[in-house]
Amino acid sequence: MLLPLHPYAASSPPQTRYYKTCMSTEIIRPARTLQGSLTVPGDKSISHRYAMLAGLADGTSRLSNFSTGADPHSSLACMAALGATVATTGDGPAAVIEVTGVAGAFRQPAAPLDCGNSGSTMRMLAGLIAAHPHTFTLVGDHSLTPRPMERIRKPLAQMGAQIALTEGHAPITIHGQPLQAIDFTTPIPSAQVKTAVLFAGLQATGTTSLTESIRTRDHTEHALRAFGAILTRKGDKLSINGGQKLKAIDATVPGDISSAAFFLCAALLFPDSNLVLDSLGMNPTRAALLDVIAALGGRIKVLTVEEHHGELIGSIQVNRAGSNPSTGPFIISGALTAQVIDELPVLAAIAPLTANGLIIRDAQELRVKESDRIALVARNLRAMGAQLTENPDGLEIPGNQTLHGAEIDSGSDHRIAMAFSIAALRATGDTAIHGSEAARISFPEFFTALNSLAQR
């Protein structure tokens, strides 16, 4: 099937880009239990930030355990298009990505910067390049193109950036020019918006300050410091001086807790499950997931923890507790919703199988992710026979239900494809995950890992 895409740029002559959909279907059989150990690939969020800052820095950064997902590789490809040199040495888990940065001066790219499926690439990159004296066009695929970009346009324009959207979304055109510092309060909790502003602030005149309404993942703060920038926090306010230069680093990316989430949830589904996760990112702004897993009946033992460039990396053991302490449904709302935003699809997918169910509130952002994740989770859960209520900002999913195998539509969304593969482990009958290839966006090894951990 051929689907039309948005034209590349508002100013370019109308043109239509086509892509071929080559959907794969993965059949998931129910499992008896889940057992074994796993090292998940490098964190997607941290990989993006290391790729971009290494691209801007002076010298060659060596990044081990870089995410194998397609999204952070879109960030690397954009860095190469902007003049950085990107090379890979070794392969498999031993691969090291070497990025030789442009020492503060990106070059004019020869073509539009292709952000693929990656909202992080598009939003953070806009802040990173806006001060460079070139013209940039940022484009994405059919899922990224309609996603909201006004959230980054507004603060960057306040800083003096010349940035034009296409009806509120991509393609984005930026005519780079000098930026001035601003004092900004983020209206929605978004680490991507925070990052765009801090990256622009790093290269602006003056001191940029940013206050978050709800504190989001702080990988940008750690990464900026790792590359040598000075960044201060007073209460809720972050400040960064413009004109700071970055120096290359050697770093190991911690394992992605959002990828681990699928198997943490799977471990909740079987009374005799036993899962060990090694080299896992346990940054406190991401690890609230572990509290949710415990509240849903998981028992988590932290085996080791160490720190690397401000990020915590550890090993944990997870299994299902004998009894679940809670009596009513577990409620995810407010700040907790922001902290586990990427894990909500899998938590929702297994919610009918938990003892007491799950209520998700304040999650309207889920409707503008790679898909409308609230609608798609509701539709796919109903296809598996679950009862639930869909609200504008979330879902109410009673526990103690049974699921049956079904035809699942991933909506080309990686987290939906993987979330329903986990629910399928405990369904009666086989489940077909259509569009399963979407997993490559964040976790290409997902189905291999699933097959080795799920005992049948």
Q: What residues make contact with ligand S3P under the rule CB under 6 A?
A: 45, 48, 120, 190-192, 195, 217, 341-342, 365
Hey, how many other C-beta atoms are within 10 angstroms of the C-beta on 387? Answer: 12
Structural contact between residues 442 and 414, judged by C-beta atoms closer than 8 angstroms: yes
70-81 vs 44-56: helix crossing angle, rounded to 10: 10
Structural contact between residues 216 and 196, judged by C-beta atoms closer than 8 angstroms: no
Hey, how many other C-beta atoms are within 10 angstroms of the C-beta on 1? Answer: 8
Distance CA 397, CA 329 (A): 8
Task: Spot the catalytic one: 43, 342, 362, 409.
Answer: 342
Hey, how many other C-beta atoms are within 10 angstroms of the C-beta on 178? Answer: 14
Q: Which is nearer to ligand S3P, 137 or 195 (CB)?
A: 195
- Minimum CB–partner distance for residue 250 and ligand S3P (Å): 22
- Minimum CB–partner distance for residue 310 and ligand S3P (Å): 15
Q: Which is nearer to ligand S3P, 134 or 367 (CB)?
A: 367
Q: Which is nearer to ligand S3P, 137 or 192 (CB)?
A: 192
Q: Which is nearer to ligand S3P, 35 or 117 (CB)?
A: 117
Distance CA 169, CA 160 (A): 19
- Minimum CB–partner distance for residue 215 and ligand S3P (Å): 12
- Minimum CB–partner distance for residue 237 and ligand S3P (Å): 19
Strands of 250-252's sheet in order across: 85-89, 96-100, 60-64, 250-252
Structural contact between residues 109 and 122, judged by C-beta atoms closer than 8 angstroms: no
Q: 218 catalytic, yes or no?
A: no
Q: Which is nearer to ligand S3P, 188 or 331 (CB)?
A: 188
Gyration radius (Cα) of the chain, Å:
21
| Closest among 136, 153, 159 to 205, alpha carbons compared | 159
- Minimum CB–partner distance for residue 285 and ligand S3P (Å): 10
Catalytic residues, by residue number, are 342
